[in-house]
Amino acid sequence: RAHHSRAHADAERDARTRVRAARGRSIARRARARVASASSGETGRRDPARSKRSRRAGRAAKDAVECTDARNARDRTRASTTRREPTRRGGLADVACEGVRAATSWDGEHHVGIAVRGYEFEHQHAFYPGLAMATRATTRAVGRAARLAGARTTRDDAREECAAGAAAVAINAYAFARSVEAMYALSTQLLRDEALAEAAATLYAMNPANVFYGSAYAEAGFAYAQFAAGSLLQENKVLHSGVLFGVATMFRSNGVLCVVLLLGHAGREMFRLLRDANDETRHRRAARHLKRAMIAIALTVAPHYAFAHFGDMRYCNGAVFDGAERPYCRPKSWRNLYGYVPSGMYSFIQRHYWNLGFMSSYRARNLGNVLLGAPAIALGFYLTKRFAWSRDERVFVKEEQRFFVGAYFVKLGVMTVIAATYMHVQVATRFLSTSPAMYWGLAHLGRHSKAWRRFIATYHVSYALVGAALFANFYPWT
């Protein structure tokens, strides 16, 4: 069985290499076509300025062809050098690496590849660096400790990927366990009774996207940072919560939506301060609180801004593609504040490489994936409609916290709209699993309705079990 799993993994690796090579050949063919078009344009009767532009375009296309051919050659060389030779069956290291490989499929392979080799390709910039940075730091610390202890270590791509995958899985397992604790602590601060808080934390621990929290995905670290930041926000440690919200943004791009929570908390605190007419210092205290909230918002958005600029500096200076400009690169001008406003690289990558776009998932051939994500989207819309806009519906929340918890349900509604319109619909289950409002609403509904309890239990348990079986065997469950 171990030999069959290794053969299957090698076949998967070869298939991915062939896909990258085919994509490179397609880019090269298009570039050669532009070369031919530019060359034929030079022979016609055109004005000198246009001929000069055609020659410049031809040179850029030739450079792109050479760069693409070089990348294809490097991919073939890497594939041939990293393909693992048959090893002795039954070895403990082999069995461990097979298990790690099962937990690092799909997006996990990109996170592990970035941790080992950095951002090599443009399409990898769809994955934020939080998990990769934590994985690289862990593998280096473990490797250094092993060398100090006198252990013999060998360096090759297969072993490094296996070690990085194991580190990513271990980090996520730890982060998931701590995120359950953080979810329970946040729930006890906001909800009326401890039993409901415990039910919400239990639903999160057995959520439908459970398999991704124990594999090399970014959800566990994101959820832990987000829940812990929410608890600090309740203690009025606004700047500390801003730092943790920034950490959440380093793991996933939707961390910037935590700005909604900071604005909700700032609005509640300023209203509480300003309505006290007997306090002569209320305006100064409200201004001080607003200043802290703005700093926290800047800390939340800063990782997204820095990552976007990292991509611009890497791909918009002509060094990677040998002078060929990327579609999202723009010259510095007043329109982009002379380079201080980042380009639309992230949107381009999601659209060009991952086929994301408005209503792009709703196709007849994609019906199965639409049905897969439909329960999460339906629950997101229902809970938002019921609990986001009516303060009286949030009877399960402490009286003084009802306005702030409403911000969590508004954030859930924004995430649901994004998942239903712009993302791959099947990802909605994983995307919405990091929202605590989802579990608060379901715990409240399940407490008062036996039908809701049956539906919630069936939905969570069936998705968690089926997802674990399919994901570990390289079937599409994303």
Residues 6+ apart with CB under 8 A from 455: none
Least confidently predicted of 26-35, 151-160, 355-364, 395-404: 26-35
Contact 271, 217 (CB under 8 A): no
CA torsion sign for 66, 71, 74, 79 is negative
pLDDT at 411: 94
pLDDT at 55: 53
Q: Which residue has the higher pLDDT, 122 or 303?
A: 303
Separation of alpha carbons 151 and 156, rounded Å: 16
Residue 291: count of CB within 10 angstroms of its CB: 12
Q: Which phi and psi angles does 235 have, rounded to 5°?
A: -90, 10
Give me the torsion for CA of 193, 199, 203, 206, rounded to 10°.
Answer: 140
DSSP-assigned letters across all residues of 18-30: HHHHHHHHHHHHH
Contact 411, 437 (CB under 8 A): yes
pLDDT tens, 288-342? 989 999 999 999 999 999 999 898 888 887 656 666 677 888 877 777 777 788 8
pLDDT tens, 194-231? 999 999 999 999 999 988 998 889 999 999 999 999 99
Contact 207, 252 (CB under 8 A): no
Region 228-237: mean pLDDT is 93
Residue of 377, 394, 371 lying closest to 443 (CA atoms): 394
Residue of 386, 379, 477 lying closest to 432 (CA atoms): 379
Contact 172, 220 (CB under 8 A): yes
DSSP-assigned letters across all residues of 135-167: HHHHHHHHHHHHHHTT------HHHHHHHHHHH
Task: Please give the share of the chain, as a percent, with pLDDT higher than 70.
Answer: 77
pLDDT at 91: 64
Is the model's pTM score more than 0.85? no
pLDDT tens, 258-288? 999 999 999 888 888 888 878 788 888 889 9
Q: Which residue has the higher pLDDT, 176 or 68?
A: 176
Residue 411: count of CB within 10 angstroms of its CB: 22
Contact 345, 380 (CB under 8 A): no
Q: 35 in helix, strand or coil?
A: helix
pLDDT at 21: 58
Q: Looking at the predicted structure, is the pLDDT value of residue 154 above 70?
A: no
Q: Is 23 exposed, middle or buried (0-12, 13-18, 19+ CB in 10 A)?
A: middle
CA torsion sign for 355, 357, 361, 363 is negative
Q: Looking at the predicted structure, is the pLDDT value of residue 134 above 70?
A: yes
Contact 221, 238 (CB under 8 A): no
pLDDT at 34: 55
Contact 203, 439 (CB under 8 A): yes
Least confidently predicted of 8-22, 136-150, 435-449: 8-22
**Residue 80's pLDDT band (cuts 50, 70, 90):** very low
Separation of alpha carbons 137 and 124, rounded Å: 19
pLDDT tens, 160-179? 888 888 999 999 999 999 99
Q: Which phi and psi angles does 11 have, rounded to 5°?
A: -65, -40
Least confidently predicted of 80-84, 131-135, 403-407: 80-84
Residues 6+ apart with CB under 8 A from 9: 98, 101
For the chain, the average pLDDT equals 81
